[in-house]
Structure 1
Amino acid sequence: MPPFKDHFSGHATLYRDARPLPPADWFAWLAGQAPDTTLAWDAGCGNGQASLGLAAHFERVVATDPSTTQIAQASAHPAIDYRVEPAEQSSLAAGSVSLVSVSQALHWFDLDAFHAQVRRVAKRGALLAVSAYGNCSVDRTVDAVEWKLYADTLGGDWPPERALVDSGYQGLAFPFDPVSAPSFAMHAEWNLAQFLAYLRSWSATQRHLKRTGIDPVEAATPALADAWGEPGRVRTVRWPFFTRVGRL
């Protein structure tokens, strides 16, 4: 198996502190659809934002990521067992898992190898639930400045897998019996500093900084500040949240 594509270990702390959380009702819905709530696997967990959401509903959560640095930043929880390992090579026992969850990570996986692991570890009737979120939105004025940063300044710095997220994972193989899921709203209430931190957590931002020596978010901050208004003003930031759910 080729080495995993590590785009976040270099700024794992920023990623942990600046990224939005998946909708809490998403995890509650998954728990209600799974055959039971004994064990969930959070594959490609990063530093565990989704793992904590799963732990609110499942007795045990095994959260795995190939990045030692990301796992080191994860928040401890008595129900979560963090393991440094790729999703394509799981240490979970065969037929042991009620839910396999992947949050904002499927586009990094070797899908054939991962799907083989899902089939191996899942118990009968278990779910595979995939979720991701696209580019954010605040209002037309802020969005215009943010889009210039996202698409123009950083367009060449995004890894090619980002296009899969922007497309809502359309075209990715998903060879499981589909389960219809309701829509879920993903949002955060942030001031300007929190919004800027999120923009700095982008892999493209860090790649641009490393490549050019220029912080693209700092360069865009005056225009973003003008669009935002009072820096301490808390505004709603929204993301399109899309899901795919299948049953084994």
Structure 2
Amino acid sequence: MKDNFSTQAAEYAIYRPTYPKELYDFIFSLVKNRNAAWDCATGNGQVARELALHFDNVYATDISKKQIEQALKLPNIVYQVESSDKVNAADDSFDLITVAQAIHWFNFDAFYSEVKRTLKPEGIFAVIGYGIMSIDKKVDKAVHKLYEDFLGKYWDPERRYIEENYKTIPFPFEEITAPHIFIKTRWNFNQLIGYLNTWSALQHYKTANERNPIEYMFTELKEAWGSDAEKEIRFPVLLRIGR
């Protein structure tokens, strides 16, 4: 599994979007018991924090120690630096297993083996993510130019699973039809720039070229943004859920 986010762990915690209540309500409605949940690739613990409000115990794992250091600590969350394909948990441990914006980096077979081993017989497994944001025509055009023209060759091959809305990942589970859900928030221009700086491809570009590509795009992005103090941001939620 690749670790593409330790370098920008602090920015990731600040600028990455959060999932809406509607998403959690749907997932939790499917879970029969709420004794224990595993949030794999927890990052800064965004999903784990929400799980902790509804489950007695949450086990949250990530390969990045720096990401976990950014996570909010709660009494019923145990954070561990562990890989997705080898979790320190007994068979039939979890009522719910989640993985958010990370499964495209995994060895699918190895991870699914652990999911099937540790998920309770009536447990629920949820693959969560979000696609490319939309703001308005002008900003979207400038962001796409950064995404494609500057960063195109710097995206890892696994990024295609996001672009394909997780529809092409293997999913050997009894699948449950998921609703269409969007992350909706409002950002100022600085928040947009902060978010763009968390992109893994941007970090790859900086390493290869010793320059931040946003330097070349900043004026164009600013002009596209215009004079609005804030704009509405929409991310489509990607959701595969099964038992």
Does the residue aligned with 2:17 lie in a helix, a strand or coil? coil
Match of 1:242 in 2: 238
CA gap 1:219/1:136 in 2 versus in 1, 3 angstroms = same
Deviation at 1:25, TM superposition (A): 2.0
Deviation at 1:57, TM superposition (A): 2.0
CA–CA distance in structure 2, aligned partners of residues 60 and 219 of structure 1 = 47
Does the residue aligned with 1:230 lie in a helix, a strand or coil? coil
Does the residue aligned with 2:207 lie in a helix, a strand or coil? helix
Match of 2:194 in 1: 197
Deviation at 1:187, TM superposition (A): 2.1
CA–CA distance in structure 1, aligned partners of residues 183 and 147 of structure 2 = 19
Aligned-residue identity in percent = 38
CA–CA distance in structure 1, aligned partners of residues 41 and 19 of structure 2 = 14
CA–CA distance in structure 1, aligned partners of residues 168 and 142 of structure 2 = 30
1:105 has 2:102 as partner? yes
Match of 1:51 in 2: 48
Match of 2:154 in 1: 157
Does the residue aligned with 1:209 lie in a helix, a strand or coil? helix
Deviation at 1:207, TM superposition (A): 1.1
Tell me the TM-score normalized by structure 2: 0.96
Does the residue aligned with 1:83 lie in a helix, a strand or coil? strand
CA–CA distance in structure 2, aligned partners of residues 192 and 57 of structure 1 = 34
Q: For the Cα contact (< 8 Å) 1:138–1:237, is it kept in 2? A: yes
State the superposition RMSD in angstroms: 1.2
Opposite residue 219 of structure 1, the aligned amino acid is: Y
Deviation at 1:28, TM superposition (A): 2.2
**Alpha-carbon displacement from aligned partner over 1:112-153 (angstroms, at most 9, x marks no partner):** 111111111111110110011111110001001000000111
CA–CA distance in structure 2, aligned partners of residues 71 and 132 of structure 1 = 19
Structure 1 residue runs of 4 or more that deviate by more than 3 Å after TM superposition? none
Does the residue aligned with 2:7 lie in a helix, a strand or coil? helix
Match of 1:78 in 2: 75
Tell me the TM-score normalized by structure 1: 0.95
Does the residue aligned with 1:241 lie in a helix, a strand or coil? strand
Which structure 1 segments of 5+ residues have no match? none
Does the residue aligned with 1:31 lie in a helix, a strand or coil? helix
Which structure 2 segments of 5+ residues have no match? none
Alignment of 1:104-183 (within 5 A): 104-183=101-180
CA–CA distance in structure 2, aligned partners of residues 123 and 62 of structure 1 = 15
- Out of 27-36 and 84-93, give the one that drifted further: 27-36
1:20 has 2:20 as partner? no
Q: How many residues align?
A: 243
Q: For the Cα contact (< 8 Å) 1:28–1:57, is it kept in 2? A: no
Match of 1:63 in 2: 60
Q: For the Cα contact (< 8 Å) 1:27–1:57, is it kept in 2? A: no
1:9 has 2:6 as partner? yes
Opposite residue 185 of structure 2, the aligned amino acid is: A
